[in-house]
A and B are shown apart, each in its own frame.
Chain A
Amino acid sequence: MTSAVHLDGITKRFPGVVANDDVDLTVERGTVHALLGENGAGKTTLMNVLYGLYEPTAGQIVVDGTERSFDAPQDAIDAGIGMIHQHFMLVDPMTVAENVTLGTEPRKWGGLAIDRDQAHRDVERLCDRFGLDVDPGAPVAELSVGVQQRTEILKALYRGTEILILDEPTAVLTPQEVEELLSVFEMLTDQEKTIIFITHKLGEAMRAADEITVLRDGQTVGTVDAGEITREELAEMMVGREVLLEIESSPADPGSVVLSVDDLTVADDRGVDAVSDVSFSVRGGEVFGIAGVDGNGQSELIEAITGLRRPHGAIELDDREITDNSRRDRIEHGMAYIPEDRHERGVVMEFDLVENGLLGSQHAEPFAGNGRIDWARAREHTEAIIEEYDVQPPNPDAEAASLSGGNQQKFIVGREFAREPNLVVATHPTRGVDIGSTEFIHEQLLELRNAGVAVLLVSSKLEEVRGLSDRLAVMYEGEFVDTVDPETVTEEELGLLMAGERPAQGDEHR
């Protein structure tokens, strides 16, 4: 039997970077194949090559035993390959059926009009065939993220996709939605469809996939049978050395209140309240975690606390009201902040690391007394961060843009922790960071906590918020649904809270 996909010696070079270096990948028909690797390992690039978005510098693409060369995604679609990107490409006001058939609508009246009924029936039939629970008549804007994702899958199936590629499909889902997605995978493979999904989560790859191919630094490390490997072995393949997967935290010893947030209401960019009446406080020596599916107001809440967005309500840092104070005032009073979006905020991409090491301290002693910048001192500071946080390449003159995402993140974490803060606001502190550095960042965060620093942590990684937090709030649609003890809460309970189920209101969910 020929394989559904066979990539042979794919190399993709970008100016100055080799994203894929002689990568081989074989995916059998009717199986789920996970493409596992750290950020920057070249997973998405490889799939973009298969989907015709990039032309490979070298190598062969064989689909169903036929060698192919794709100039554009349309060629790949014609060959039965479909790809679902992280950001869905759906038209919100249109219904599921309209979205699914968009561009290839069934026609009536000699092609003059769209046959909506036929489209509706087609999509319904497709749903039945693959056991997908989607209402073809519902407008996309009203659907949950999980159902939107299924709509994307339907779209691909409608176009005759045999091989479905999904880029980090679980990043935006609640645990329950992940379960549902995995059962969709099963249904699809039962009907001889082939699935390739990109992930950097070990557990997910092991549960969902039949086979796992691990990429590291643009090269294939190997392909393994998901049933015959342990998490530790897989982690070692990804990182290239042995790693500690569990977070070891000691009991907290909270001191006085450092951050206090009272009745905070924050509007998003469109002027709609994204956070409504949230109150909480964080003590020195404790980690206060906020869990939730991305987009439930966490970003707006954090931006209000860190001074990037104007809220209603009150924020106090060390018993001093700072609600309307400037960002600079907050930095100078001991607030360190690891931002969510490192490309936009955390580093200035065209600055070198010395300049980036100064970001936030450009007016402060010891770097810039009386307005003049002491570059020699700034350089020493940056070299210290690079050394301590193992930033690669260890070159203070490298532009931030030339570093991989994980190394940019390590640099940001290093810079922020070096402020000797009273409060650390950390949003997704280990997003895109390799397992080894994640371990190190976690240790540093706990060390700061043990030294009496207050830590406010937001992360979409459940293991991370559960492992690090001493108290854990769950955010849904701009409110705290509940604050729980991360030691005792189960993953299932958390998932329900994240989906907006109030505690003690039964366990039915939408």
Chain B
Amino acid sequence: MSGAPKRVKEGVRTVLERLVRASAFERILISAAALVLAVLVGTVLVLVSGRMTTCSTAAATYFGVGFCYDPVTVFDRLFFGALGDPMNPLFRPLEGEFAPPFRAGWSPFNTAMGVTLRETTVLVFTGLSVALAFRAGVFNIGTQGQLIAGGLASALGLLSLAPVVPGGLVGSLVLVPAGLFIGALVGGLYGAVPGVLKAYADANEVITTIMLNFVAAQIALYLVSNYFKRPNSQVVETVPLPDAATIPPVVFDPRTNVSLIALAVALGFAGAIYYLLGHTALGYDLRTSGLQPAGAEYGGVATKRTIVASLTLSGALGGLGGAMYVMMILGNFQIGVPAYGFDGITVAILAGNNPLGVVFAAPLFGIIKSGSIVIDTTTSVPPQLVDVLRGLIVLFVAMPEFFRQIGHRVLPEESQTPGGDGDA
């Protein structure tokens, strides 16, 4: 009864309670501290693995010991490389050198920055998808599948529409919105499936959405390799979309496959979802269902329809992400879609399931993705080690927020009415 286990339990409680009460500012500080901690732990890992590798020349020498990988370079590439090296090496404020902080010749529209923003765009959609479902109390692990379904549908739809639509600007004005609409529609329908299963057949959405991820990937593989495969291609992919059906870049080099228009649309959706949740009756229903299903039922919320609605909307956001991926990044549909849907879960957790928070959480993941490409191309650090560093950052940064959400669910029942003479 007493002794160590009790003290551990008390300790866990105290920490959870503190996390639950943390203000928005404190939460940002905690996330920042977690990032620093992840970098420190990563540094040790890089040094240790650098010591265990053999190389002809040491990349760095610390305390008279040579290391094959230099953590300073690794993290410099990861963070600043992803932004296209904005810092002026002569700008050292700690040493009293106040040269212009930005490097001469640095443009925010460089290639590495392009990759960062491109990844950010898709991650905003998947992050919103997961966050919206979470807020309605539904764990949508199926954003990946909804993204694949939406992306595939949008590619196939555009390919069949393109011949009847004129090219050029007029074509773009028709095809781009049409592609996004098809993506959202099919992604939404694909999300509605687990929604209906949960609402009317009591099937756990975590299980069904995970399974439907595989279903979507396999259907895409089957359809593309059997019916829509680009002839003589080495990979399983469709023929390229006509130029009018891709989202045009604005100021970036077209080869970086990034469009500020797409990013603007993504941010617009973040604002729209924020408005939906906070200022509409549907949003009120969703949030009430998410916080307290019995209370929602009492308040006249049609709980079953709300479950279906939340998964449909969530799927539509995933599908939009897929359409963006197809129309902005690939220019066709290819098998082997990166795990944007799963990254969306971490983005949503880090954002505290707040749609506006997603706008800030997604770029962090965009930077890490883009930065690891930079590390791959500029250092001898193996990609596996970079993956470990990425994982560390994700884990460290997301965990405090994750535990805060757990605390939110666990604690109120235990400690909300300390004087509770009632049935507490």
Write the residues of chain A forming the contact surface with B, with a CB cutoff of 8 angstroms: 12, 14-15, 17, 19, 37, 39-45, 71-75, 86-87, 167-168, 198, 200, 218, 308, 326-328, 330-332, 337, 339, 341, 343-351, 355, 358-360, 362-363, 368, 371-373, 375, 401, 404-405, 431-432
In contact, B6 and A349 (Cβ under 8 angstroms): no
Known: A372-B280, A405-B420, A432-B421. A15 touches B300 (CB 8 A): no
Chain B, 400-421, CB within 8 A of any chain A CB: 408, 412, 415-421
Cβ of B1 within 8 Å of any chain A Cβ, yes or no, is: yes
In contact, B291 and A348 (Cβ under 8 angstroms): yes
Known: A15-B17, A339-B298. A355 touches B284 (CB 8 A): yes
In contact, A45 and B418 (Cβ under 8 angstroms): yes
- Contact string against A for B residues 22-50, beta-carbon threshold 8 Å, 1 for contact and 0 otherwise: 00000000000000000000000000000
- Contact string against A for B residues 1-21, beta-carbon threshold 8 Å, 1 for contact and 0 otherwise: 111001000000000010001
Query: B residues within 8 A CB of A218?
Result: 419
In contact, B417 and A405 (Cβ under 8 angstroms): yes
Known: A45-B419, A168-B421, A371-B280. A327 touches B295 (CB 8 A): no
Cβ of B422 within 8 Å of any chain A Cβ, yes or no, is: yes
Chain B, 287-302, CB within 8 A of any chain A CB: 288, 291-292, 294-302
In contact, A371 and B302 (Cβ under 8 angstroms): no
Using a Cβ–Cβ cut-off of 8 Å, how many residues does chain B contribute to the interface with A? 37
Residue of B nearest to A74 (CB): B1
**B15 CB, nearest partner CB in chain A, Å:** 12
Counting from the closest, the 5 A-B pairs by CB-CB distance are: A328-B300, A345-B298, A71-B2, A72-B1, A14-B418
Query: A residues within 8 A CB of B419?
Result: 17, 19, 39-45, 218, 404
Query: A residues within 8 A CB of B408?
Result: 350
How far does the alpha carbon of A58 sit from the alpha carbon of B282 in the complex, in Å? 48
In contact, B21 and A44 (Cβ under 8 angstroms): no
Some 22 contacts from A to B, beta carbons below 8 A apart, are A14-B415, A15-B17, A19-B418, A19-B419, A40-B420, A43-B421, A72-B6, A74-B2, A168-B421, A308-B298, A327-B298, A327-B299, A328-B301, A331-B300, A332-B300, A341-B294, A343-B416, A345-B294, A348-B296, A350-B412, A351-B291, A368-B284
How far does the alpha carbon of A86 sit from the alpha carbon of B424 in the complex, in Å? 10
How far does the alpha carbon of A363 sit from the alpha carbon of B421 in the complex, in Å? 35
In contact, A349 and B282 (Cβ under 8 angstroms): no
How far does the alpha carbon of A352 sit from the alpha carbon of B298 in the complex, in Å? 17
Q: Which of B6, B280, B302, B424 contacts A328 (CB 8 A)?
A: B302
Query: B residues within 8 A CB of A326?
Result: 300, 302
How far does the alpha carbon of A14 sit from the alpha carbon of B421 in the complex, in Å? 15
Q: Which of A71, A348, A405 contacts B422 (CB 8 A)?
A: A405
In contact, B421 and A39 (Cβ under 8 angstroms): yes
How far does the alpha carbon of A351 sit from the alpha carbon of B284 in the complex, in Å? 10
**B302 CB, nearest partner CB in chain A, Å:** 6
In contact, A349 and B302 (Cβ under 8 angstroms): no
Query: A residues within 8 A CB of B297?
Result: 308, 327, 345
Residue of B nearest to A375 (CB): B279
Cβ of B97 within 8 Å of any chain A Cβ, yes or no, is: no
Query: A residues within 8 A CB of B417?
Result: 40, 343, 404-405
Query: B residues within 8 A CB of A74?
Result: 1-2
Query: B residues within 8 A CB of A347?
Result: 295
Known: A15-B415, A17-B419, A371-B281. A345 touches B2 (CB 8 A): no
In contact, B416 and A401 (Cβ under 8 angstroms): yes
User: How many A-B residue contacts, CB cutoff 8 Å?
Assistant: 137
Residue of B nearest to A13 (CB): B418
Query: A residues within 8 A CB of B420?
Result: 39-40, 44, 405
Write the residues of chain B forming the contact surface with A, with a CB cutoff of 8 angstroms: 1-3, 6, 17, 21, 279-285, 288, 291-292, 294-302, 408, 412, 415-424
Query: A residues within 8 A CB of B2?
Result: 71-72, 74-75
How far does the alpha carbon of A17 sit from the alpha carbon of B420 in the complex, in Å? 12
Query: B residues within 8 A CB of A39?
Result: 419-422
How far does the alpha carbon of A395 sit from the alpha carbon of B416 in the complex, in Å? 18
Query: B residues within 8 A CB of A86?
Result: 423
Query: B residues within 8 A CB of A405?
Result: 417, 420, 422
How far does the alpha carbon of A100 sit from the alpha carbon of B300 in the complex, in Å? 46
How far does the alpha carbon of A71 sit from the alpha carbon of B28 in the complex, in Å? 37
Query: A residues within 8 A CB of B412?
Result: 349-350, 401
Residue of B nearest to A14 (CB): B418
How far does the alpha carbon of A39 sit from the alpha carbon of B298 in the complex, in Å? 24
**13 other A-B residue contacts (CB within 8 Å) besides A168-B421, A349-B416, A373-B284:** A15-B17, A17-B418, A44-B420, A72-B2, A73-B1, A74-B1, A337-B298, A343-B417, A349-B295, A351-B288, A358-B284, A362-B284, A404-B417
Query: B residues within 8 A CB of A19?
Result: 418-419
In contact, B421 and A200 (Cβ under 8 angstroms): yes
In contact, A359 and B299 (Cβ under 8 angstroms): yes
Residue of B nearest to A408 (CB): B417
**A285 CB, nearest partner CB in chain B, Å:** 26
In contact, A372 and B421 (Cβ under 8 angstroms): no
In contact, B292 and A349 (Cβ under 8 angstroms): yes
How far does the alpha carbon of A218 sit from the alpha carbon of B419 in the complex, in Å? 8
Query: A residues within 8 A CB of B281?
Result: 362-363, 368, 371-373
Residue of A nearest to B295 (CB): A348
Q: Which of A73, A168, A327 contacts B300 (CB 8 A)?
A: A327
**B275 CB, nearest partner CB in chain A, Å:** 9
Query: B residues within 8 A CB of A45?
Result: 418-419
Known: A345-B298, A372-B279. A44 touches B421 (CB 8 A): yes
Query: A residues within 8 A CB of B288?
Result: 348, 351, 359, 362
In contact, B292 and A348 (Cβ under 8 angstroms): yes
Residue of A nearest to B302 (CB): A326
Known: A71-B6, A327-B297, A345-B297. A362 touches B285 (CB 8 A): yes
Q: Which of B294, B416, B422 contacts A432 (CB 8 A)?
A: B422
**B409 CB, nearest partner CB in chain A, Å:** 10
Known: A71-B2, A401-B412. A359 touches B295 (CB 8 A): yes
**B417 CB, nearest partner CB in chain A, Å:** 6
Known: A39-B421, A40-B421, A72-B1. A349 touches B299 (CB 8 A): no
**B407 CB, nearest partner CB in chain A, Å:** 12
**A326 CB, nearest partner CB in chain B, Å:** 6
How far does the alpha carbon of A188 sit from the alpha carbon of B329 in the complex, in Å? 81
Query: B residues within 8 A CB of A73?
Result: 1
Query: A residues within 8 A CB of B296?
Result: 348
